[in-house]
Amino acid sequence: MNLRNIDLNLLVVLQQLLRERHVSKAAEQLNMSQPAVSRALQRLRQMLGDELLVRTSQGYDLSARALLLQAQLDQLLEDTQRLITEPEFIPETSMQTVRFYGPDPEINHYLPPLFAQIRQQAPQMRMQVRSDPQDNFALLEAGEVHFVLTALQPEVNISHLYGLKLTDLVFTVVMNKDHPLAKGEVSIEDYLNAKHGMVALTGRGSSLLEQYLMVRGYLGPGEQLDTPLHLSSFYAISSFAEHSDVLFHVPKYFTEDVIRGRNLIARDILPEVLSIQPNKHVYLYWHQRHHQDPMCCWVRELLRALA
Protein backbone atom coordinates (compact mmCIF):
# COMPACT_ATOMS: atom_id res chain seq x y z
CA MET A 1 0.00 0.00 0.00
CA ASN A 2 1.33 3.44 -0.94
CA LEU A 3 1.48 5.69 2.13
CA ARG A 4 0.78 8.72 -0.06
CA ASN A 5 -2.73 7.36 -0.59
CA ILE A 6 -3.54 7.21 3.13
CA ASP A 7 -5.71 9.96 4.60
CA LEU A 8 -4.65 10.44 8.22
CA ASN A 9 -8.11 11.77 9.02
CA LEU A 10 -9.46 8.29 8.28
CA LEU A 11 -7.25 6.89 11.02
CA VAL A 12 -8.78 9.31 13.52
CA VAL A 13 -12.23 8.11 12.49
CA LEU A 14 -11.07 4.50 12.73
CA GLN A 15 -9.76 5.07 16.25
CA GLN A 16 -13.14 6.39 17.39
CA LEU A 17 -15.05 3.60 15.62
CA LEU A 18 -12.93 0.98 17.36
CA ARG A 19 -13.51 2.64 20.71
CA GLU A 20 -17.27 3.12 20.35
CA ARG A 21 -18.01 0.07 18.17
CA HIS A 22 -20.96 2.07 16.89
CA VAL A 23 -21.23 4.42 13.90
CA SER A 24 -23.68 6.90 15.46
CA LYS A 25 -21.78 7.15 18.75
CA ALA A 26 -18.49 7.62 16.89
CA ALA A 27 -20.06 10.34 14.75
CA GLU A 28 -21.25 12.15 17.87
CA GLN A 29 -17.78 12.05 19.48
CA LEU A 30 -16.15 13.25 16.25
CA ASN A 31 -18.74 15.98 15.69
CA MET A 32 -19.45 14.49 12.26
CA SER A 33 -22.65 13.38 10.57
CA GLN A 34 -23.53 9.70 10.66
CA PRO A 35 -23.46 9.38 6.83
CA ALA A 36 -19.95 10.90 6.77
CA VAL A 37 -18.70 8.36 9.32
CA SER A 38 -20.41 5.52 7.42
CA ARG A 39 -18.63 6.60 4.23
CA ALA A 40 -15.34 6.76 6.12
CA LEU A 41 -15.91 3.24 7.42
CA GLN A 42 -16.48 1.97 3.90
CA ARG A 43 -13.23 3.58 2.73
CA LEU A 44 -11.39 2.05 5.68
CA ARG A 45 -12.76 -1.42 4.88
CA GLN A 46 -11.58 -1.06 1.31
CA MET A 47 -8.17 0.29 2.33
CA LEU A 48 -7.51 -2.41 4.93
CA GLY A 49 -9.33 -5.28 3.25
CA ASP A 50 -11.26 -6.10 6.42
CA GLU A 51 -14.76 -5.50 7.83
CA LEU A 52 -13.35 -4.01 11.05
CA LEU A 53 -16.82 -3.71 12.64
CA VAL A 54 -18.87 -6.92 12.37
CA ARG A 55 -22.54 -7.25 13.22
CA THR A 56 -23.55 -9.54 16.09
CA SER A 57 -26.78 -10.20 17.94
CA GLN A 58 -25.61 -7.63 20.52
CA GLY A 59 -24.77 -4.96 17.96
CA TYR A 60 -21.30 -4.45 16.48
CA ASP A 61 -18.05 -6.06 17.57
CA LEU A 62 -14.44 -5.79 16.41
CA SER A 63 -12.99 -8.16 13.88
CA ALA A 64 -9.78 -10.01 14.70
CA ARG A 65 -7.87 -7.53 12.52
CA ALA A 66 -9.50 -4.59 14.29
CA LEU A 67 -8.46 -5.96 17.69
CA LEU A 68 -4.84 -6.09 16.50
CA LEU A 69 -5.08 -2.59 15.05
CA GLN A 70 -6.58 -0.94 18.10
CA ALA A 71 -3.50 -0.81 20.36
CA GLN A 72 -1.18 -0.04 17.44
CA LEU A 73 -3.44 2.74 16.21
CA ASP A 74 -3.59 4.46 19.59
CA GLN A 75 0.21 4.49 19.78
CA LEU A 76 0.56 5.64 16.16
CA LEU A 77 -1.76 8.59 16.56
CA GLU A 78 -0.16 9.54 19.88
CA ASP A 79 3.27 9.54 18.23
CA THR A 80 1.91 11.51 15.27
CA GLN A 81 0.43 14.09 17.62
CA ARG A 82 3.80 14.55 19.33
CA LEU A 83 5.49 14.83 15.94
CA ILE A 84 3.38 17.74 14.74
CA THR A 85 2.80 19.47 18.09
CA GLU A 86 5.06 22.45 18.79
CA PRO A 87 7.74 21.35 21.29
CA GLU A 88 7.37 22.68 24.81
CA PHE A 89 10.16 23.94 27.03
CA ILE A 90 9.65 23.54 30.77
CA PRO A 91 12.52 25.24 32.65
CA GLU A 92 11.86 23.44 35.92
CA THR A 93 12.46 20.00 34.40
CA SER A 94 14.75 20.75 31.45
CA MET A 95 18.13 18.99 31.40
CA GLN A 96 19.32 20.68 28.19
CA THR A 97 22.70 22.36 27.70
CA VAL A 98 22.99 25.87 26.26
CA ARG A 99 26.33 26.63 24.56
CA PHE A 100 27.90 30.11 24.25
CA TYR A 101 30.96 31.56 22.58
CA GLY A 102 32.38 35.05 23.05
CA PRO A 103 35.40 37.14 24.10
CA ASP A 104 36.21 37.29 27.79
CA PRO A 105 34.75 40.77 28.45
CA GLU A 106 31.34 39.90 27.02
CA ILE A 107 31.31 36.44 28.61
CA ASN A 108 32.31 37.85 31.99
CA HIS A 109 29.81 40.70 31.84
CA TYR A 110 26.66 39.00 30.55
CA LEU A 111 26.79 35.32 31.36
CA PRO A 112 27.26 35.14 35.15
CA PRO A 113 23.95 37.01 35.77
CA LEU A 114 22.30 34.87 33.08
CA PHE A 115 23.67 31.70 34.66
CA ALA A 116 22.28 32.81 38.03
CA GLN A 117 18.84 33.16 36.47
CA ILE A 118 19.13 29.75 34.81
CA ARG A 119 20.18 28.13 38.08
CA GLN A 120 17.17 29.66 39.78
CA GLN A 121 14.57 28.85 37.13
CA ALA A 122 16.01 25.75 35.43
CA PRO A 123 18.26 24.09 38.04
CA GLN A 124 18.96 20.97 35.95
CA MET A 125 20.14 22.85 32.87
CA ARG A 126 23.82 23.15 31.94
CA MET A 127 25.83 25.97 30.36
CA GLN A 128 28.97 25.52 28.26
CA VAL A 129 31.10 28.60 27.52
CA ARG A 130 34.01 29.01 25.08
CA SER A 131 36.21 32.08 24.64
CA ASP A 132 39.24 30.74 22.76
CA PRO A 133 40.22 32.77 19.66
CA GLN A 134 37.95 31.54 16.89
CA ASP A 135 36.03 32.57 13.84
CA ASN A 136 32.94 33.48 15.86
CA PHE A 137 30.39 32.86 13.15
CA ALA A 138 31.89 29.60 11.92
CA LEU A 139 30.91 28.09 15.26
CA LEU A 140 27.31 29.10 14.64
CA GLU A 141 27.46 27.74 11.10
CA ALA A 142 28.75 24.39 12.36
CA GLY A 143 26.13 24.18 15.09
CA GLU A 144 28.81 23.95 17.81
CA VAL A 145 27.23 26.74 19.85
CA HIS A 146 23.73 28.13 20.26
CA PHE A 147 24.82 31.75 20.76
CA VAL A 148 27.72 34.10 20.12
CA LEU A 149 28.28 37.27 22.13
CA THR A 150 30.52 39.64 20.16
CA ALA A 151 31.12 43.12 18.79
CA LEU A 152 32.37 41.63 15.54
CA GLN A 153 30.01 41.53 12.60
CA PRO A 154 29.53 38.70 10.12
CA GLU A 155 31.09 39.47 6.76
CA VAL A 156 29.10 37.08 4.54
CA ASN A 157 26.08 34.76 4.60
CA ILE A 158 24.24 36.80 7.21
CA SER A 159 20.73 36.02 5.96
CA HIS A 160 20.50 32.95 8.20
CA LEU A 161 21.85 34.71 11.30
CA TYR A 162 19.80 36.67 13.81
CA GLY A 163 21.14 39.36 16.11
CA LEU A 164 19.97 41.11 19.26
CA LYS A 165 21.73 44.36 20.17
CA LEU A 166 22.69 44.33 23.84
CA THR A 167 24.70 47.54 24.36
CA ASP A 168 26.97 50.14 22.77
CA LEU A 169 30.65 49.28 22.93
CA VAL A 170 32.37 51.83 25.19
CA PHE A 171 36.13 51.73 25.83
CA THR A 172 38.76 52.92 28.29
CA VAL A 173 42.54 52.77 28.04
CA VAL A 174 44.36 50.62 30.61
CA MET A 175 48.00 51.25 31.50
CA ASN A 176 50.54 51.10 34.30
CA LYS A 177 49.99 53.86 36.88
CA ASP A 178 53.56 55.01 36.23
CA HIS A 179 53.06 55.25 32.46
CA PRO A 180 53.91 58.70 30.97
CA LEU A 181 50.31 58.95 29.72
CA ALA A 182 48.77 58.05 33.09
CA LYS A 183 48.35 61.73 33.98
CA GLY A 184 47.65 64.97 32.18
CA GLU A 185 46.35 65.70 28.74
CA VAL A 186 46.94 63.16 26.02
CA SER A 187 46.90 64.07 22.35
CA ILE A 188 46.00 61.74 19.52
CA GLU A 189 49.66 61.86 18.47
CA ASP A 190 50.72 60.74 21.97
CA TYR A 191 48.30 57.86 21.80
CA LEU A 192 49.26 56.76 18.27
CA ASN A 193 52.98 56.91 19.13
CA ALA A 194 52.61 54.78 22.27
CA LYS A 195 53.19 51.03 22.47
CA HIS A 196 50.02 48.97 22.35
CA GLY A 197 48.90 45.51 23.31
CA MET A 198 46.38 43.70 21.15
CA VAL A 199 43.99 40.91 22.07
CA ALA A 200 43.31 38.79 19.00
CA LEU A 201 39.64 37.82 19.01
CA THR A 202 39.86 35.64 15.92
CA GLY A 203 43.58 34.92 15.80
CA ARG A 204 44.00 36.94 12.61
CA GLY A 205 43.53 40.40 11.12
CA SER A 206 43.70 43.88 12.60
CA SER A 207 42.03 44.88 15.85
CA LEU A 208 38.70 46.69 16.12
CA LEU A 209 40.64 49.75 17.30
CA GLU A 210 42.94 49.79 14.26
CA GLN A 211 40.00 49.33 11.91
CA TYR A 212 38.22 52.25 13.55
CA LEU A 213 41.30 54.50 13.49
CA MET A 214 41.69 53.77 9.77
CA VAL A 215 38.06 54.70 9.11
CA ARG A 216 38.52 57.97 11.04
CA GLY A 217 41.72 58.75 9.14
CA TYR A 218 44.08 58.54 12.12
CA LEU A 219 45.86 55.62 10.48
CA GLY A 220 46.61 55.64 6.78
CA PRO A 221 46.27 52.69 4.38
CA GLY A 222 48.64 49.96 5.51
CA GLU A 223 49.58 51.77 8.72
CA GLN A 224 49.32 50.01 12.07
CA LEU A 225 49.76 50.84 15.71
CA ASP A 226 53.10 49.91 17.23
CA THR A 227 51.97 46.62 18.77
CA PRO A 228 54.82 44.62 20.33
CA LEU A 229 52.39 42.39 22.21
CA HIS A 230 49.60 40.13 20.95
CA LEU A 231 47.51 38.14 23.44
CA SER A 232 44.78 35.59 23.02
CA SER A 233 43.01 36.35 26.32
CA PHE A 234 41.80 39.55 27.93
CA TYR A 235 42.65 38.10 31.33
CA ALA A 236 46.36 38.29 30.48
CA ILE A 237 46.17 42.08 30.11
CA SER A 238 46.66 42.76 33.82
CA SER A 239 50.08 41.19 34.20
CA PHE A 240 51.50 42.49 30.94
CA ALA A 241 50.23 46.05 31.39
CA GLU A 242 51.52 46.14 34.98
CA HIS A 243 55.04 45.10 33.93
CA SER A 244 55.42 47.05 30.69
CA ASP A 245 54.73 50.30 28.87
CA VAL A 246 51.98 48.96 26.60
CA LEU A 247 48.47 50.40 26.47
CA PHE A 248 45.34 48.32 26.13
CA HIS A 249 42.03 49.42 24.67
CA VAL A 250 39.49 47.65 26.88
CA PRO A 251 35.66 47.53 26.99
CA LYS A 252 34.61 49.74 29.87
CA TYR A 253 32.54 47.07 31.62
CA PHE A 254 35.65 44.88 31.81
CA THR A 255 38.18 47.39 33.11
CA GLU A 256 37.42 46.82 36.79
CA ASP A 257 38.30 43.13 36.37
CA VAL A 258 41.57 44.11 34.67
CA ILE A 259 42.84 46.72 37.12
CA ARG A 260 41.54 45.29 40.42
CA GLY A 261 44.45 44.81 42.86
CA ARG A 262 47.03 45.90 40.26
CA ASN A 263 49.30 48.90 39.75
CA LEU A 264 47.09 49.89 36.84
CA ILE A 265 44.84 52.74 35.87
CA ALA A 266 41.96 53.01 33.39
CA ARG A 267 41.67 56.40 31.68
CA ASP A 268 38.96 57.86 29.48
CA ILE A 269 41.52 59.64 27.35
CA LEU A 270 40.48 61.12 24.00
CA PRO A 271 36.81 60.24 24.64
CA GLU A 272 35.75 61.93 21.41
CA VAL A 273 38.08 59.55 19.53
CA LEU A 274 38.35 56.37 21.54
CA SER A 275 35.35 56.04 23.84
CA ILE A 276 32.31 55.13 21.75
CA GLN A 277 33.02 53.84 18.28
CA PRO A 278 30.06 54.49 15.96
CA ASN A 279 28.30 51.36 14.74
CA LYS A 280 30.15 49.22 17.28
CA HIS A 281 27.79 47.36 19.55
CA VAL A 282 27.73 44.10 21.43
CA TYR A 283 25.28 41.67 19.86
CA LEU A 284 23.90 38.29 20.71
CA TYR A 285 23.89 36.21 17.52
CA TRP A 286 22.20 32.90 16.77
CA HIS A 287 21.65 30.71 13.73
CA GLN A 288 18.34 30.18 11.98
CA ARG A 289 18.38 26.51 13.03
CA HIS A 290 17.85 27.60 16.64
CA HIS A 291 15.54 30.55 15.99
CA GLN A 292 12.36 28.67 16.92
CA ASP A 293 13.90 26.30 19.45
CA PRO A 294 11.90 26.77 22.70
CA MET A 295 14.95 26.51 24.96
CA CYS A 296 16.87 29.08 22.92
CA CYS A 297 13.87 31.42 22.83
CA TRP A 298 13.67 31.23 26.62
CA VAL A 299 17.39 31.93 27.07
CA ARG A 300 17.23 34.87 24.65
CA GLU A 301 14.39 36.46 26.59
CA LEU A 302 16.28 36.06 29.86
CA LEU A 303 19.33 37.77 28.39
CA ARG A 304 17.23 40.50 26.77
CA ALA A 305 15.70 41.31 30.16
CA LEU A 306 19.11 41.35 31.87
CA ALA A 307 20.66 43.54 29.17
Could you state, in order of their start, the residue ranges of all structural domains in the chain?
3-84, 89-307
Distance CA 303, CA 305 (A): 5
Q: Does residue 184 or residue 205 have the better pLDDT?
A: 184
Q: Do domains 3-84 and 89-307 have the same CATH topology?
A: no
Reported as a single tens digit per residue, the pLDDT across 56-110 is 877 788 888 888 888 788 888 877 777 776 678 899 999 999 999 998 999 999 9
Angle value at C-alpha 71, between 70 and 73, nearest 5 degrees:
65
Distance CA 257, CA 179 (A): 19
CATH classification for the domain delimited by 89-307, as one of 3.90.1570.10, 3.40.190.290, 2.130.10.10, 1.10.260.40: 3.40.190.290
The per-residue pLDDT for 85 is 66
Q: What is the mean pLDDT of residues 282-295?
A: 93
In the chain, the percentage of residues whose pLDDT exceeds 70 is 92
- Can you name the CATH fold of 3-84? Arc Repressor Mutant, subunit A (1.10.10)
The per-residue pLDDT for 2 is 54
CA 235 to chain centre: 25
In the chain, the percentage of residues whose pLDDT exceeds 90 is 45
- Give pTM, 2 decimals: 0.69
Distance CA 149, CA 166 (A): 9
The per-residue pLDDT for 195 is 96
The per-residue pLDDT for 278 is 57
Distance CA 267, CA 175 (A): 8
Reported as a single tens digit per residue, the pLDDT across 223-252 is 889 999 999 888 899 999 999 999 998 988
Burial class (CB in 10 A: 0-12, 13-18, 19+), 45: middle
